[in-house]
Every structure is written in C-alpha cells, then in structure tokens.
Structure 1
Amino acid sequence: MSKEIFVAFATQKGGIGKTTLTVLVASYLHYVKGYNVAIVDCDAPQNSIADIRAREIKVIDESDYFKALACNHFRRIKKKAYPVIASNAVDALDDADKMMKEESVKPDIVFFDLPGTLKSEGVVMTLSQMDYIFAPISADRLVVESSLQFATLFNENLITTGVAKTKGLYLLWTMVDGREKSELYDIYEQIINEMNIPVLKTRLPDSKRFRRDLSEERKAIFRSTVFPTDSSLLKGSNIKELAEEICKIIKE
C-alpha cells in the first residue's frame, strides 16, 4: 500500500462490539496477514483498547509463560506489537498524524476506535476522514433502525456531497444467534438493499469468546493487542473471514 488507509468500526449504539472488532481485526491483519497496523483509541475517557494493552503488558511482565510466548512470537514474525495511541475524537487525526511521523515503520492501516454516539464532540469530523467505515448491527429492531439512520445520513450529508473522503460504508452483522431464523436476516437485508447500503457477507456469531482477554488463568488467547487469536478459538469466530473480506475491499 502506497498510503495509509483509515478504517473505523462505527455505530450509534453502544454494546455492539466495535472495540472488540477493532482489536481482533487489527491483530489478525498485523500478526497473521503481515500488514503494519496502528490503533488510535479515541473513545475517551475510558480508552478501552489502551487499557487492554496496559493490562496485557502487566500480565506478560508478571508471567514467565507469557513472557516466553511473547519472545517467541515477536522473534517469529520479525516485527513489534502495533502501536496503540490513547486520544479522543477531537484530537484523533492530529495524534494519528504525529504517530505516523514518529513511527519508524509506517502503518498500512490505521484503525480508529470512536465513541458510540455521533453527538460526542469531534466524532463526525473524524469519521468524515475515514477511508472505510464498517457499522456493526444486530438483529434488533432498534439497532437496525439506528444503524440505517446513521448510514443514510452519513451517505447523504457527507459522502455524496464530497465532504467526507470515505470510499465506502458497509454494515456488518454481529452477535448472530444460531437459533434465530435466517428469514429474519433476509427480511432485514431486503430493506437494507432497497436503501442501497452494502452489507458484508461475513456474519459474526454471538459468542462469549469475544469477551475473552489475555489472562494468566487462561492460556488460550482470543482478544489481544499483543498476540494473534489462538487458532483453536479463531475457528468458528469468522474473524479470519471478516478480516479477509475487509482486506479485499480496501485493496480494490
């Protein structure tokens, strides 16, 4: 890639998993696919991803097992952990620019983790500078309505007018319950298609593994900013498929 690409998982509804998706996709692309990645954590004041990174470093420092695992991991991939920059929605773009000037290895993809409401100061402005936006949705009427409203308003007011530099905004089904009837998703997608909003083919299941962070009590790793997802846990999560689909879109 000749120029870094800005990507965000964005939504108007909290609790839909955008922070988790940011970590999982970033880690897969950086540690498995070989891209150079960075994360700008703009979700102040909690800055959840920066907090995850700090807790992981603490666990590694205090554990001989994870210390050895980290040494072997970075020796094998011949690169460092990707940078995680704590910021806020107002300063995110400036902090990203500063980070890219300071990093010896320039990132191919920069992920921005933003607050879960467009009303927060700076969110719309920062979103308008994303190359690609992926909006997680679940099969809940309120979530779907909110997401469609967000996508429609963003497309009409920012993308089509040329205010935003965004090349594409895509919806992404997440928290998919295997017991739900597939017809429900077909009905929703028919409505979404009529509104000309693209939906990713990959659907992510509803699984407790998505909340599983690095821990001394558990050796198998799922959500981590330092390590790739354990292959046994990756299977069935559809994270690999999601990352590959996103790669295909942003490389076009």
Structure 2
Amino acid sequence: MEKETLFIAFSTQKGGVGKTAFTVLMASYLHYVKELETAVVDCDYPQHSIVEMRQRDMEQVMKDNYYKKMAYNQFTTLKRKAYPVEKSLPEDAIKTAETLIENATKQPDIIFFDLPGTLNSKGVVKTLAGMDYIFSPVSADRVVLESTLKFATMLNENLVSVGKGNIKGLHLIWNMVDGREKNELYEVYENVIGELGLNILKTFVPDSKRFRRELTSGHKPVFRSTLFPAHNTLLKGSNLDLLAKEILQTIKQ
C-alpha cells in the first residue's frame, strides 16, 4: 500500500509570530536530521519568503567554499539532497503539491505549506481545508492571542468540527515565550483556549535571536536554513527538537 503524504501548514492571521520560520525549521530538521522526506510549497504571495531564502542559501553556498564543503559533507555523509521548495499561488497550492508528489523520485512523507497571513487572500480557506494538520503559532501578547484565537475558532467551527475538508487536527503552539519557563499567565490563557474547544501543544518555544540566524559570510553556526538543519550548538535550549518530537507524535509519524 502506497504511503500517504501529509499536508501540514503553520498558519495564522497575525504576522510576525513565526509561521514561515517554523515551516523552514521543521522542514529542515525533519528532512536532514530525522531523515523524513519533506518538501515546501511556498504560497505566501506575493513575497514568497521561503523561495527567496532558498535562493539566498544557494547563492551563499556557491560563492563560499566553507558552506560548499558543509553541503558536500552533508550529502556524502547523510545522503540527503535538499528538499524541494515550490512557488505557488494560494489557490493552486494543492495542485502544486500533487504535481510535486507525482514527479518526486521519493514520495514525500510531509509537504509543508506557507500561506498568506490573511483568510481574505484568494484560495487560502480552500487550501487550509486541504491540510491534514494545521499548527498555529501564538504568543502571550493580547493582540496576537485574540487574532489567533479568532482564526483558530473560525477554522474549528467551520471546517474541523463539521468534518469539512481533510483536517485531522488543529493545534496552537506557544511561541516567543519570555524566559525559560511559562508563568501563571499562560495557565489562564490555556484555560481560555480549552474553553473554546481548541488544543495547544505542551512544548513551548522561547524567545531567542537564534531563530533569525541564517547563512552569513561570517561562518557563524546557522539556525534557519533550507539547506542545513539547525546547528547543534544552537539547537540546545531552542526546544525545536522537543517540538518536532511532539508534532511527529501528534501526526503519528
């Protein structure tokens, strides 16, 4: 029996809370570290941030022997080629993913979708309905929280709970948590989230500048890249590995 490719989106209506960063970090970690076959459909029109990141990554590798050697060692040691990053319009995202699957040498285990941060964009709701799982990053900022809860509640009431579309699970993720531990305020928020019939993962992601560290000419350890996984020295304390483990448990991979 042919395996099923899971469609997953880190999606929210509020910009700046990490949906694109999570997409790249999780795709790279699962592909290069956990050795799952992943791909990304970047339908965040018009900026297509992940497509542009892949271009920057490739340019940096091609002109810098340090990163060129890193890429060579990764390929020869892990036998892992770079995962595909495809550009698409939101309304064409599912078709783009299906074509990607048809043309793949190895069928992807997971395809991640990076969508626009508004439900008003053409095709976004239809594409969200085609996801198997949706994860919504949220912070303890009141404006962000209200916006994300409104977004998640709308999806839950109009798609998930009534069985429209393919969505098997909708989960929130605490992001940009200040300090090493969550405080009592988060318990209050989680009670509200539960009363709304929504789920939130146990793993929280701390606020850290490391999440913005990409390939540079300075050869510092990289955290966010489409060609390399997060460096081990930066992985510790980021909770990215713990988040990946909980997500894999949630989607039963």
Place the TM-score, normalised by the shorter chain, in its bin.
over 0.9
Match of 1:37 in 2: 38
Query: Which 5+ residue runs of structure 2 have no aligned equivalent?
Result: none
Superposed CA deviations along residues 221-242 of structure 1, whole A, max 9, x for unmatched, are 1001101110000001111111
TM-score, normalising length from structure 2? 0.97
Q: Specify the alignment match of 1:240 in structure 2.
A: 241
TM-score w.r.t. the length of structure 1 is: 0.97
Conserved in 1, the CA contact under 8 Å of 2:66 and 2:219?
no
Amino acid of the structure 1 residue aligned with 2:235: L
Q: Which structure 2 residues correspond to residues 18-97 of structure 1 after superposition, within 5 A?
A: 18-97=19-98
Distance 2:127 2:197 in 1: 24
AA at the equivalent of 2:176: M
Q: Name the CA shift for 1:182/1:150 in 2 (closer, same or farther; >3 Å).
A: same
Deviation at 1:179, TM superposition (A): 7.9
Cα distance 1:187–1:108, how it changes in 2: closer, same or farther (>3 A)? same
Which residue is equivalent to 1:193?
194
Q: Is 2:139 the counterpart of 1:138?
A: yes
Residue equivalent to 1:214: 215
Which whole-Å CA distance do the structure 2 matches of 1:64 and 1:210 have between them? 24
Equivalent-residue separation in structure 1 for 2:235 and 2:144 (angstroms):
26
Q: Which amino acid aligns with 1:37?
A: T
Whole-angstrom distance in 2 between the partners of 1:141 and 1:195: 16
Q: Does the alignment pair 1:103 with 2:104?
A: yes
Please state how far the C-alpha of 1:160 moved relative to its aligned partner: 1.9
d(CA) in 2 for partners of 1:235 and 1:79? Answer: 23
Structure 2 letter corresponding to 1:218: H
Q: Distance in 2 between matches of 1:19 and 1:150?
A: 17
Identify if the C-alpha distance between structure 1 residues 79 and 180 changes in structure 2 by more than 3 Å, giving closer, same or farther: closer
**Larger % of strand: which?**
2
SS at match of 1:237: coil
Residue 191 of structure 1, CA deviation: 0.8
CA drift of 1:181 comes to 6.6
Aligned-pair Cα RMSD in Å = 1.3
CA distance in 1, matches of 2:246, 2:182: 24
Q: Letter of the aligned partner of 1:157 in structure 2? A: N
Q: Deviations over 1:13-51 (max 9, x none)?
A: 001110000000111100000100000000011100010
Following the alignment from structure 2 to structure 1, what is the Cα–Cα distance between the partners of residues 7 and 147? 23
* One-letter code aligned to 1:104: T
For the residues of structure 2 that align with 1:100 and 1:195, how far apart are their CA atoms?
A: 36
Distance 1:179 1:28, change over 3 A: closer
Give the aligned partner of residue 15 of structure 1: 16
| Structure 1 residue runs without a partner (length 5+) | none
Cα deviation, 1:161-186, whole Å, max 9, x if unaligned, reads: 22121000001000111188701101
Cα distance in 2 for residues equivalent to 1:179 and 1:171: 19
Measured after TM superposition, the shift of residue 210 of structure 1 is: 0.6
Q: 4+ residue runs of structure 1 moved beyond 2 angstroms?
A: none
2:13/2:119 contact within 8 Å kept: yes
